[in-house]
Amino acid sequence: MTAAKRIAQSMTLPCGAVLPNRIGKSATQEGLATPLGHASELNVTLYRRWSEGGAGLLISGDVMVDYSHRERPGNIVIDDNGGIDALRRWAKAGQVAGNQLWMQINQPGRQTPIDVQAHPMAPSANMAGLPPEGFGMLRAMTEAEILDLIERFGRVAATAREAGFTGVQLHAAHGFMASSFLSPLCNTRDDAWGGSLENRARFMIESLRAMRRAVGNDFALSVKMNAADFHKGGFDMEQSMAVIAMLNAESLDLLEISGGNYDAPAMIGAMGSGSPLARKKAERTLRREAYFMEYARRARPIATMPLMITGGSARWMRWRRLWMRMQLTSSALPGHSAHPPIFRQSCSMAKRRKSR
Ligand SMILES: Cc1cc2nc3c(=O)[nH]c(=O)nc-3n(C[C@H](O)[C@H](O)[C@H](O)COP(=O)(O)O)c2cc1C
């Protein structure tokens, strides 16, 4: 079967939801919400266009769970602020072509900009690796605040289902709250939420459990997680692989792989700190397209859930070759052939047309 035919095949997720094809648009913050944090008519128009574009899966830009901790003005917020009818219109428009539409849910934590919040909440009051411009002094969360935030993720997931979305994704990548809990540099807590890798993963796992409880078993639940933070002494590939093994015990429908944070934006092909050797190796990886493919190949035999990679899928021919290679890798491993990865492709399509 050709790569193009494989990509066009539908895929049934563990919860029973069906992706009509294996092309996914990863979360892309729109910045188009009204000042109250409601979806606007621009959001509605944009998602109708994206749905008509033909991807089997659209993931929304990150939706905030707390109005005073937004990732930027222009975010959609679900925080007892009304707007359910606008969410319904948005959800309906984003599925006109029969695709899946998932809401990405986030709390930006230490990367909350100063013009939104002077004292962002974070696992620890530790500014390490945070670009000094534009961020206020961090405040370590109390346990009550951690538990409240986990509940908020559940509540917002329930609202996404009520509004007509077909799935939800927890944003645990790119240095935001759940991602910073995973990082030994950002999370220096000495209670049940910090220290060992198991403790650092607790916030993400408890948030996913709260979301699953809120949406039920027949609804898609996903997490976007870093392959690595690309910081010396930070969350690295080995730790990330160990966390995937922990995630196998949760009822996840898709693990999306990305990497980096504001200081080391690997997700868009740029680098941060690290030893000169590690940095060189990481730079070589990022110069290639589909930055996280190597990681996905290592993750495939460990992960029991479907995988999606995002980042740098720019040229069609290169992308097709990677797809073929991944098929071979996954089908060569007994018990792991069922879920080849999905790729983010909307940007790639645009670039492909241009190069013709
Ligand atoms: C304008 C813009 C907004 C983004 N917003 C989000 C977001 O809300 N949530 C998220 O997980 N990633 C976000 N990303 C990262 C993308 O999902 C993706 O990981 C990254 O762009 C790499 O993929 P690409 O090379 O195909 O662009 C954003 C990227 C861009 C360029």
Kindly list the domain boundaries of the chain, sorted by start residue: 3-355
Contact 313 CB / ligand 1 (< 6 Å): yes
DSSP 3-state of 213: helix
Mutate to test the pocket of ligand 1, among 169, 268, 289, 313 (most ligand atoms within 8 A of CB): 268
Look at residue 118 in the predicted model and tell me its pLDDT: 94
Contact 91, 164 (CB under 8 A): yes
Q: Note the CATH number of domain 3-355.
A: 3.20.20.70
Mutate to test the pocket of ligand 1, among 60, 111, 267 (most ligand atoms within 8 A of CB): 267
Distance CA 260, CA 267 (A): 6
Distance 62 CA to ligand 1 centre (A): 10
DSSP 3-state of 247: helix
Q: Which residues face 254 on adjacent strands? A: 222
Q: pLDDT per residue over 267-321, tens digit each?
A: 666 555 555 555 565 555 555 567 788 888 899 999 999 999 888 766 554 555 5
Residue ranges in the chain whose pLDDT is less than 50? 317, 324-341, 343-356
Distance 26 CA to ligand 1 centre (A): 7
Q: pLDDT per residue over 162-188, tens digit each?
A: 999 999 999 999 999 999 999 999 999
Atom of ligand 1 nearest to the CA of 310: 23
Look at residue 272 in the predicted model and tell me its pLDDT: 54
C-alpha separations of 17 from 10, 27, 56 in Å? 10, 19, 11
Which amino acid is residue 164, in one-letter code?
Answer: G
Look at residue 41 in the predicted model and tell me its pLDDT: 97
Atom of ligand 1 nearest to the CA of 60: 8
Distance CA 186, CA 189 (A): 9
Look at residue 269 in the predicted model and tell me its pLDDT: 64
